[in-house]
Amino acid sequence: MDYNFDHLKDTVEAGIFTPWQEVNAEIIAYTALGINVAINNEYIGLVYKNQVYNEYQRGEKLKAYIQCVRQDGKIDISLQPNQSNHVFSTTDKILEHLKSAGGKSSFNDKSSPEDIKHAFQISKMVFKRTLGKLYKQGKIKMTPQGIELLE
């Protein structure tokens, strides 16, 4: 399949997008910095490689979020909603993991970022915040062996 993205603008004027606004994105190319995406088929944005938690194919379409519009007009994109919303949506993922593992998991706040990324498609920071939230809600307990479901 041949893709032509010559019509896309690589900068945007202030006020067009708001932080964490949901947009439609299409994967254009992998670069040394991360992934270039077409935003709403009008602009080019960048997802930094340290924020990419899944494998994507060129031409793949997905929801993305405006992280910020920089002073130079370039657009930084996130493939996850802002962290407070992401923690909220990740709690179900971790609870499902625990239920399918019989209520216990060896994952904890000391697990490697790579293992967390592979298992949950999230950053270690979001994982730790989610564990903290679940702990405060009394849904899990943390042990030297990992985490346990309390429900």
What is the fold of 83-149? Answer: Arc Repressor Mutant, subunit A (1.10.10)
| Mean pLDDT in residue range 113-141 | 88
Task: Answer yes or no: is pLDDT of 1 > 50.
Answer: no
Q: Each residue of 41-78: pLDDT tens digit?
A: 999 999 999 888 788 999 999 999 999 999 999 999 99
Query: What are the domain boundaries of the chain?
Result: 22-78, 83-149
Name the band, by pLDDT with cuts 50, 70 and 90, for residue 101. Answer: very high
Looking at residue 57, the DSSP 8-state letter turns out to be -
| Mean pLDDT in residue range 96-100 | 92
What does the alpha-carbon distance between residue 133 and residue 85 come to, in Å, rounded to a whole number? 12
The residue with greater pLDDT, 88 or 141, is 141
Name the band, by pLDDT with cuts 50, 70 and 90, for residue 87. Answer: low
Q: For 16, what's the count of Cα atoms within 13 Å in the CB-facing half-sphere?
A: 17
Task: Answer yes or no: is pLDDT of 12 > 80.
Answer: yes
What does the alpha-carbon distance between residue 37 and residue 50 come to, in Å, rounded to a whole number? 15
Q: Please provide the CATH number assigned to the domain covering 22-78.
A: 2.40.50.140
Closest CA to 92 of 139, 124, 128, 136: 139
pTM more than 0.85:
no
